[in-house]
Amino acid sequence: MSKTLAEKVIAQHLAEGKMEPGEQIGLKIDHTLTQDSTGTLAYLEFEAMGVPRVKTKLSLSFVDHNMLQNDFRNADDHRYLQDVAAKYGIVFSRPGNGICHQIHLERFSRPGYTLLGSDSHTPTAGGMGMIAIGAGGLDVAAAMAGEPFYLEMPSIMGVKLTGALSPFASAKDVILEVLRKLSVKGGVNRILEYFGSGVKTLSVPERATITNMGTETGATTSIFPSDGLTYTFLRSQGRADEWVELMADEEAKYSEVLEIDLGEVEPLIALPHSPDNVKAVSEVEGTPVDQVCIGSCTNSSLRDLKMVAALLNDKKVSDKVSLTISSGSRQVLANLAASGELADIIRAGARILENGCGPCIGIGQAPQTEAVSIRTFNRNFKGRSGTQSAQVYLASPETAVAAALQGEIIDPRKLGDYPEVKLPEKVIVEDSMFIFPDKPFMGEVRRGPNIKPLPSFPPIPDKLAGEVLLKTGDNISTDDILPGGSEVMSLRSNIPEISKHVFCYFDSSFSNRALAKGGGFIVGGENYGQGSSREHAALAPKYLGVKAVIAKSFARIHLANLVNFGVVPLTFTDKQDYTNVAQGDMLELNMNGLQRNLCMKNAAKSEEFGVTLDLSDREKSLLKAGGKLAAVKAKYVEN
Ligand code: MIC
Ligand code: SF4
């Protein structure tokens, strides 16, 4: 039977289940990656499993998110991560080396392999023909211990690309077009598979921009074929021997097909405060701009920064704008330095930041009050930049440079000649900041005082009762549940402390109230928990006593994280009932042995409404055991 490309890679890694949409499947994982902000928990969890060495083909630990060293806490976390990597056989990418997804793409990605990463933008490697999925740290820890990764088999949506991009339209505009069509929840339980004649006009870094930001549609992952251009990219990295050709069969059937004529794609921009709030750049021309940030795992490749250098060359950044550049890897920076293009960027007046996530997650460069900030990043949720009143727009490097030069949003097509960006046949490879685990690890893993043991929880009782602690609207992100930024993220290894920040910008009294009331329920709208994979957004509410979240629908990674930590994820059987529940209502639920259809009593209103526990048997057994850690520990430590 003919297969899509995604089905081919999944079939080769199928450890359990039937490859039919909606069925539970277990996938064998070849590569894992973690980054510092989700990694410390992931490794505390991995350590608790008692497995002496990782069982994957390759596991990588990156330090790229919270690299500020204002005090001992981040530095201690980095040291802990380095020790753990050496002890368990994990490649360690030192702080300053660059962003996990960009580096994995350059140095480690392999067509036809699977990758599980404790970061929602892990699908970046789909640009290399990998099935690359973002997950909570505990799922990644289990994969390092050799467990399959379990998920619902998504349907495969084809995205047919025809034609070729016109000057000043770029890969970022393609994915913004996809987001305009699908919205931030249109990809949930889907894989977006790109095919068609337009594919061969896009280089691997351009494809990776598209698969990276496919995450914002809620898709499980996105994938491109591995073809001649994939070979060219791998050869430029000195890895030609890792290439294999991979594509869908001609007769492959997609559940749906979205068609995009690349020639019709125009420069686009996502307006505050959602990546799917997309308009043509020409529609918002003239908006004054205060800050422009270029970088992030979406747009920090050599291709992108060469384009930036060419557009900035011999020009000057507007006095009204602060322009920051963070390249995705030391390799990118080394190549720009050697070619002289870094000097062009510096001469134009850009501020060069460390290679890493930086402003993307509010680690420095918070904009001024009410500033307009144009970013080449992938998320513009309110407050994520570190400034609650900032207006963050998402756009391509081309549009970002145009805004930096002009001091206001302008259509980049007005910049004049379109530079031709040529990628070198062989890049300068810069591997000096990797530490490979080739020596036996002597001594102890060092833990700073801010690294606290993982909390443990009893199995969930058959009856849940408590108050509705908070009622939210649609598309609540994990940034809303537990914000990023340098202050909160430095508490990532300390659950009691980080729990004080749950919903802090939403309702500053939440954590105290939750504790005082002995926990309770959260009520959410559609797509609850979109965005970041951080499992803290499930674990910290659990620590505060949250027993269940009742929502209209959930985002995939957050749903898995809730189950992993024993918070019951329920959906309204009839979405209309959402309107009848209010903050402060007292709810009571008999779990009935974790039946699918349950009845929630609302004592405040003497009413009842139906809730659905839409989980597989495996997920139910995790919930019963009090979460996944308890279950995996029972398998590895107690046997
Ligand atoms: C993000 O872009 O939101 C993050 C920060 O990279 C997160 C991970 C985290 O919360 O540490 C993600 O995308 O999963
Ligand atoms: Fe880092 Fe931003 Fe990418 Fe997340 S989205 S991995 S914070 S660069």
Q: Which residues are catalytic?
A: 64-65, 119, 379, 532, 534
> Does position 626 have pLDDT exceeding 90, yes or no?
no
The CA 105 to ligand 1 mean position distance, Å, reads 18
Query: If you average pLDDT over every residue of the chain, what do you get?
Result: 97
Residues 6+ apart with CB under 8 A from 615: 563, 569, 594, 623
Of 512, 500, 550, 513, residue with least CA distance to 529: 550
Which neighbouring-strand residues pair with 408? 288
Which neighbouring-strand residues pair with 294? 325
Rounded to an integer, what distance in angstroms lies between the CA atom of residue 259 and that of residue 43?
42
Alpha helices by DSSP H, listed for 390-483, are 397-406, 478-481
Q: pLDDT per residue over 277-330, tens digit each?
A: 999 999 999 999 999 999 999 999 999 999 999 999 999 999 999 999 999 999
- Ligand 1, atom nearest to 536 Cα: 10
> Does position 352 have pLDDT exceeding 80, yes or no?
yes
Residues 6+ apart with CB under 8 A from 77: 36, 40, 66, 448, 450, 451, 490, 492, 493
Please indicate whether residue 216, judged by its CB atom, sits closer than 6 Å to ligand 2: no
Q: Which helix (H) or strand (E) holds 612?
A: strand 607-612
> Does position 506 have pLDDT exceeding 70, yes or no?
yes
Q: Show contacts of 364-370: CB within 8 Å, 24+ apart.
A: 364/68, 364/486, 365/291, 365/293, 365/322, 365/324, 366/390, 367/290, 367/291, 367/392, 368/290, 368/291
Please indicate whether residue 360, judged by its CB atom, sits closer than 6 Å to ligand 2: yes
- Residue 631's pLDDT band (boundaries 50, 70, 90)? confident
Q: Are 186 and 167 in contact (CB under 8 A)?
A: no
- Residue 259's pLDDT band (boundaries 50, 70, 90)? very high
- Residue 132's pLDDT band (boundaries 50, 70, 90)? very high
Q: For atom 6 of ligand 1, which residue has the closest CA?
A: 119
- Residue 639's pLDDT band (boundaries 50, 70, 90)? low
CA distances from 521 to 186, 550, 585 (A): 27, 7, 9
> Does position 471 have pLDDT exceeding 70, yes or no?
yes
Of 314, 312, 338, residue with least CA distance to 325: 312
Residues 6+ apart with CB under 8 A from 490: 66, 68, 70, 71, 73, 74, 77, 450
Mean per-residue pLDDT for 510-539? 97
CA distances from 615 to 22, 64, 182, 547 (A): 11, 34, 25, 16
Mean per-residue pLDDT for 194-213? 98
Residues 6+ apart with CB under 8 A from 530: 184, 185, 218, 475, 476, 477, 478, 555, 558
pLDDT at res. 624: 86
Q: For atom 10 of ligand 1, which residue has the closest CA?
A: 534
Rounded to an integer, what distance in angstroms lies between the CA atom of residue 481 and that of residue 285?
33
Q: For atom 3 of ligand 2, which residue has the closest CA?
A: 297
> Does position 637 have pLDDT exceeding 80, yes or no?
no
With a pLDDT cut of 90, the percent of the chain lying above it is: 96
Please indicate whether residue 619, judged by its CB atom, sits closer than 6 Å to ligand 2: no
Q: pLDDT per residue over 81-99, tens digit each?
A: 999 999 999 999 999 999 9
In three-state secondary structure terms, 274 is coil
Q: pLDDT per residue over 420-448, tens digit each?
A: 999 999 999 999 999 999 999 999 999 99
> Does position 636 have pLDDT exceeding 90, yes or no?
no
DSSP state of 1: -
423: Cα within 13 Å, side-chain hemisphere: 20
The CA 578 to ligand 2 mean position distance, Å, reads 33
Q: For atom 2 of ligand 2, which residue has the closest CA?
A: 360
- Residue 638's pLDDT band (boundaries 50, 70, 90)? low
Q: pLDDT per residue over 26-75, tens digit each?
A: 999 999 999 999 999 999 999 999 999 999 999 999 999 999 999 999 99
- Ligand 1, atom nearest to 38 Cα: 11
The CA 484 to ligand 1 mean position distance, Å, reads 8
Q: Are 134 and 112 in contact (CB under 8 A)?
A: no
Which of 33, 34, 37, 482 most suits a substitution to test ligand 1, by most atoms within 8 Å of the C-beta?
37
Rounded to an integer, what distance in angstroms lies between the CA atom of residue 8 and that of residue 24?
17
pLDDT at res. 604: 83
Please indicate whether residue 296, judged by its CB atom, sits closer than 6 Å to ligand 2: yes
Mean per-residue pLDDT for 386-415? 98
- Ligand 1, atom nearest to 134 Cα: 14
Q: For atom 2 of ligand 1, which residue has the closest CA?
A: 532
The CA 212 to ligand 1 mean position distance, Å, reads 12
pLDDT at res. 625: 84
- Residue 560's pLDDT band (boundaries 50, 70, 90)? very high
pLDDT at res. 205: 98
Residues 6+ apart with CB under 8 A from 71: 490
> Does position 632 have pLDDT exceeding 90, yes or no?
no
- Ligand 1, atom nearest to 557 Cα: 14
pLDDT at res. 279: 98
Please indicate whether residue 479, judged by its CB atom, sits closer than 6 Å to ligand 2: no
Of 191, 64, 193, residue with least CA distance to 133: 191
Please indicate whether residue 120, judged by its CB atom, sits closer than 6 Å to ligand 2: no
DSSP state of 105: I
